[in-house]
C-alpha cells in the first residue's frame, strides 16, 4: 500500500471513509463506521487490525448477521462486485452442471448445519480445493466453524483492503 493512500484514508471524513471501505466486510458498512474514529492508522495492517477488532468486539448476533451477508459459493445470484470477482478468480462462475449441483448440495447442508453460508477466501483457489474444504468443514462443531468462518471473513477483508488501497 502506498503511504499516500493511508494518508488519504486518515484525512477522510466519516462519509468518505465509509464510502471507500464500507464494502470491505460484505454488506456490513458498520465495521468501517466504527473503525473511522480510530484514525489515524499507521498502515494497512493497523487499519485491518482495527476493523478486525470492531468485528471481534461485536456481539454474536451482529457477527452472525455479518456471516449471513455473504453469498453461497458457486451461487448464481446477485453479489457484490468484490464477491463476483473473487468467485470468478476461483472458477466458480464456470462450474459444470455436475459441479454446480454438488456445490448447491454442500451449500444447503452447510447452511442447514450452521445457519450461515460457507465462507472461504477463495481468490485463486480451485473448485476442487473449495469443495474439499466444504466437505471437511461441514463436520466441524458449531463453535469451531463459527470461529473459522469469522477468520475467513477477516482474510477476505484484508485482501479487499489491499486491492482498494494499492497504488
| Catalytic residue set | 70
| Cα separations in angstroms, 130 against 24, 83, 99, 135 | 22, 15, 11, 9
Whether the CB-CB separation of 156 and 89 falls below 8 Å is answered with no
Contact 109, 117 (CB under 8 A): no
User: Judging by beta carbons within 10 Å of its beta carbon (0-12, 13-18, 19+), is residue 33 exposed, middle or buried?
Assistant: middle
Alpha-carbon distances of 41 from 38, 53, 151, rounded to whole Å: 7, 14, 22
Amino acid at each position: 500500500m502506498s503511504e499516500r493512500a493511508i494518508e488519504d484514508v486518515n484525512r477522510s471524513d466519516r462519509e468518505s471513509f465509509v464510502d471507500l471501505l464500507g464494502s470491505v466486510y460484505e454488506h456490513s458498512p458498520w465495521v468501517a463506521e466504527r473503525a473511522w474514529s480510530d484514525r489515524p492508522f499507521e498502515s494497512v495492517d493497523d487499519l485491518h487490525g482495527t476493523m478486525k477488532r470492531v468485528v471481534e468486539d461485536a456481539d454474536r448476533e451482529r457477527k452472525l448477521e455479518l456471516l449471513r451477508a455473504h453469498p453461497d459459493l458457486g451461487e448464481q445470484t446477485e453479489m457484490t462486485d468484490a464477491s463476483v470477482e473473487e468467485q470468478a478468480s476461483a472458477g466458480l462462475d464456470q462450474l459444470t452442471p455436475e459441479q454446480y449441483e454438488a456445490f448447491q448440495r454442500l451449500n444447503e447442508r452447510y447452511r442447514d448445519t450452521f445457519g450461515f453460508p460457507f465462507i472461504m477466501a477463495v481468490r485463486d483457489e480451485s473448485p476442487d480445493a473449495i469443495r474439499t474444504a466444504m466437505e471437511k468443514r461441514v463436520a466441524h462443531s458449531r463453535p469451531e466453524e463459527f470461529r473459522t468462518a469469522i477468520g475467513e471473513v477477516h482474510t477476505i477483508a484484508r485482501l479487499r483492503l489491499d486491492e482498494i488501497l494499492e497504488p
